[in-house]
Amino acid sequence: MMRQSAAWCAFAICAGLAASAHAQRPALDDPSFWNLIVELSEPDGFFTDENYVSNELGLHRLLPDFEQMFEPGGVYLGVGPEQNFSYVAALRPEIAFIVDIRRQNAMEHLMYKALFELADNRADFVSLLFSRSRPPGLDAGSTAEKLLADYRVTAADRSLFESTLVSILDVLVEDHGFPLDDADRDSITKVFTAFYEGGPGIQYIYQGSDEWHPNYVQLMDLTDASGTNWSYLGSEERFQRVRRLQLQNRIVPVVGDFAGPKTLRAIGGYVRGRGDTIDVFYVSNVESYLFGDDLWRPFYDNVLTLPVSENAVFVRTFFGSAGRQCTDPRPSIRTPLMSSIVELLEDYEAGEIETQCALVERSR
């Protein structure tokens, strides 16, 4: 049953939507952080594309709303690489879980974690991420556009790449004591090499296709009509919000299948055990894949076990298959949309969700 409930205010910003304030907890210690990764994860899975970076644009369409809809301190659940940092910067959750079917994505997030710890500010962070020496003239007030434009015309530095890779592994293995095996180290090396070789022009890699994808510079251009850049590199304050969570072991990468038997349910049990609720579940276009593979029912059965806040939302994107299938209404492609988790699950249990076009109808 399609509806736009008054309580949800048709996705408008309503004063009553903000969740109650959450008490700040101590940081997770290193053993607890690593144990969460191990205990919540499923076996490594397969995905066709490397997707070192996102291929979605327009996050600033939703992020201003999130700062009004949710008070800091809830739980964020997401998928994929760096786009999660921009969601986290806007939401300021107490803890975030990044779930991806491939262990390589978890290793990429550990790479990012080490870089956040090694760099005190955005300019140094971008220098380390792309293995480029810091250009002169960058400071805390530099825009993301200038930051990335200056690095894009700076040559890659092989010696910086090699020393930073050593530092990344030292932070993770020596400082934190994470027992990375050879395959994990190889994954981190592979991903970090891609950023070194691609620089700020690195793109999502879609195997065997000439489809256009945005590069890192374009992905960080999340500027709204007021001139505010909502990316995690959009301001020093946003960067530091994410960095604080990384320093406190509060961004937890997990290996898991959305339709799998363990990970989502285990995350739900952990969150419930803390007395918390999930505010935002960023699913990207994973739902579309699950409909294509006829695995959407196990996914929603998993979501039914999650403790979600009353106004919790899915954030999803649609790509080519939805555009071809769902012409009335035609979905926005590559742009994140949101829908109420509670209402969608009610419709699922009522048998009213059968195709991804039902998701298009419920997304705004």
Residue whose structure tokens are 């004591």: 177
Residue 269 lies in a domain: yes
Contacts for 205-208: CB closer than 8 Å, 24+ residues apart: 205/49, 205/50, 205/51, 205/52, 206/49, 206/55, 207/48, 207/49, 207/50
Residue 168 makes CB contacts below 8 A (sequence gap 6+) with: 111, 114, 115, 118, 188, 192
172 exposure class (CB count in 10 Å sphere: 0-12, 13-18, 19+): buried
pLDDT for the residue numbered 334? 86
Tell how strand 251-255 and strand 95-100 pair up: parallel
Residue 4 lies in a domain: no
Tell how strand 75-78 and strand 95-100 pair up: parallel
Read off the amino acid at residue 156: A
Rounded to an integer, what distance in angstroms lies between the CA atom of residue 355 and that of residue 320? Answer: 15
Rounded to an integer, what distance in angstroms lies between the CA atom of residue 131 and that of residue 307? Answer: 41
> Taking Cα atoms as reference points, which of 88, 103, 132, 91 lies closest to residue 43?
103
Residue 349 makes CB contacts below 8 A (sequence gap 6+) with: 304
Give per-residue pLDDT as tens, 153-203.
999 999 999 999 999 999 999 999 999 999 999 999 999 999 999 999 998
Helix (H, G, I), strand (E, B) or coil at 315: strand
Is residue 3 very low, low, confident or very high in pLDDT (cuts 50, 70, 90)?
Answer: very low
Residue 110 lies in a domain: yes
Question: End-to-end alpha-carbon separation of the chain, Å?
Answer: 16
Inter-residue contact 179 to 36 (CB < 8 Å) = no
> DSSP assignment of 235-288, as one string?
SHHHHHHHHHHHHTT-EEEEE--TTSSSHHHHHHHHHHHTT--EEEEEEETHHH
Average pLDDT over residues 98-123: 98
Give per-residue pLDDT as tens, 324-334.
889 878 888 88
- The torsion angle over the Cα atoms of residues 59, 64, 66 and 68, rounded to 10 degrees, is 180
Residue 3 lies in a domain: no
Average pLDDT over residues 122-129: 98
Rounded to an integer, what distance in angstroms lies between the CA atom of residue 127 and that of residue 154? Answer: 10
Is residue 319 very low, low, confident or very high in pLDDT (cuts 50, 70, 90)?
Answer: confident
Q: Of 9-18, 34-43, 79-88, 344-353, where does mean pLDDT reach its minimum?
A: 9-18
Is pLDDT of 22 > 60?
no
pLDDT for the residue numbered 329? 83
Domain containing 40 equals: 9-361
* pLDDT above 90 as % of the chain: 81
- Supply φ then ψ for residue 262, to 5 degrees: -125, -55
Number of domains in the chain: 1
> DSSP assignment of 10-25, as one string?
GG---GGGSPPP-PPP
Residue 309 lies in a domain: yes
Is pLDDT of 360 > 50?
yes
- Supply φ then ψ for residue 156, to 5 degrees: -65, 145
Q: Give pTM, 2 decimals.
A: 0.92
DSSP class of residue 105? H
Give per-residue pLDDT as tens, 136-153.
999 999 999 999 999 999
> Taking Cα atoms as reference points, which of 54, 100, 62, 97 lies closest to residue 77?
97
Tell how strand 308-316 and strand 337-340 pair up: antiparallel
Rounded to an integer, what distance in angstroms lies between the CA atom of residue 183 and that of residue 192? Answer: 14
pLDDT for the residue numbered 333? 85
pLDDT for the residue numbered 306? 98
Is residue 260 very low, low, confident or very high in pLDDT (cuts 50, 70, 90)?
Answer: very high
Is residue 17 very low, low, confident or very high in pLDDT (cuts 50, 70, 90)?
Answer: very low
DSSP class of residue 331? P
- Give me the chain's average pLDDT, please: 91
Helix (H, G, I), strand (E, B) or coil at 117: helix
Residue 333 lies in a domain: yes
Tokens of 251: 């961004």
Give per-residue pLDDT as tens, 24-70.
788 999 999 999 999 999 998 877 778 899 989 999 999 999 988 99
Residue 237 lies in a domain: yes
Residue 297 lies in a domain: yes
Residue whose structure tokens are 């960080």: 220
> Taking Cα atoms as reference points, which of 278, 280, 302 lies closest to residue 290?
302
Residue 136 makes CB contacts below 8 A (sequence gap 6+) with: none
pLDDT for the residue numbered 1? 42
Q: Of 1-5, 59-63, 193-197, 255-259, where does mean pLDDT reach its minimum?
A: 1-5
